[in-house]
Amino acid sequence: MATLCLSLAYFLTVPALILYACHKAPMLDRIGAVILCYLAGILGSYMSSYLFFGTPSTALAGFKENLMSICVALALPLMLFSSDIKGWLKLAPRTLIALCSAISAVVFCSYIAGVLWQDDIDSISKIVGLNIGLYVGGTPNLAALKDALDVDNNTFLQLHLYDTLVTAGYLIFVTSVAQRLFLLWLPPFKSTASTGKDSESITQQSVHNYSKLLTRTALTALLPAVILAISIVAGAVAFAALFPDSVQMSATMIALTLLGLGASLLKPIRNIPHSFDLGMYIILVFCVVVGSMINGDLIPNLDTSMLLFVLLVVFGSLLIHAIVCALMKIDVDTFLVTSVATICSPPFVPMLAVALNNRQLLLSGMTAGVIGYALGGVLGIGLSQLFGFLI
């Protein structure tokens, strides 16, 4: 219990220290609070392995997974309360184009990887289906496809391991240098906010504003927002409980998104000051927890063929997705948010929105991720069978 309490204290306080450091050191501010929190989580995982070796790893891992879920569930409605739905409707067409290109890229790269490694990986058609389901619809689809495709437990755990390693590198890339790199051939994001003032508040969030969360005025104003967010989480969980386990995560994310957006239609809720900033801070806590899930013990005894398979699917599809978006003149932020929504699933969209300093794309990313949830399982099963027939 003491270890869990110390871990929780670490997760909650590290973002505050990092934000303070970013405020004092412009160089750290340029790196970004998201990537620093992620790295702090990785450092924390190594520290805990030496300092808290007496705590069962399964208990600590379960605690981290639960905390990640709580962070996303609380942060999402808080960040959606200030949504500009009218502005988002202008973004919807290019979001759908970018999403379709992201899904197509994953399918194409999965098939190419399947052909390249068909002689080196057992049950290759099942692996292709698992990858399509995973990188279109997220981890919940991976678990469901394991049963649907009759994948043995060892293969499933191997793929889950390599996914953890590769997506860790992918997340570090997309939250650090990806935006600047892809701006070389993708256009910059143009805000669709109705006024210049709104545009500035949407796209120019600064780490220096977090100190305002500690003022009495902000705390008083945020209390109703936190209570409402908790109520929305409870309602979403209750709604998801009506569905089978395999789709409960999808149902929860859909309910959180819809309820958060519904609340934003009420002007008093939409105008609560700093609700988005509080949600952003919770996402920084999420980043620390995600980083702490990376463990050096994962590295030994890797299956090179399976690892290369996953690397090709993740980074190959990212490159193809970028090329299509460049041809279609899709902006860099929309490209990245739809990529993360598919490769990593909706819970990681707020993390990227914070890293890109672009709250306007939060709803676009969540919408793309929810569509991916719906399509991942169907595409994984159908295209796995098609690949097996073709091979």
Count of other CB atoms within 10 angstroms of residue 27: 8
Return the residue matching tokens 């209750």.
238
Compute φ and ψ for 60, nearest 5 degrees: -70, -40
- Where are the chain's structural domains? 2-390
Q: Enter the pTM of the model.
A: 0.77
User: What pLDDT digit, counting tens, does each position of 103-151 carry?
Assistant: 999 999 999 999 999 988 888 999 999 999 889 977 767 767 877 788 8
pLDDT, position 122: 83
CATH of domain 2-390: 1.20.1530
pLDDT, position 53: 47
User: What pLDDT digit, counting tens, does each position of 33-78 carry?
Assistant: 888 888 888 888 777 655 554 455 677 778 888 898 899 889 888 8
- pLDDT above 80: residue 11: yes
Q: Token digits for 206?
A: 């600064």
184-187: long-range pairs with CB below 8 Å, 24+: 185/322, 185/326, 186/322, 186/325, 186/326, 186/330, 186/331, 186/332, 186/335, 187/329, 187/330, 187/331, 187/332
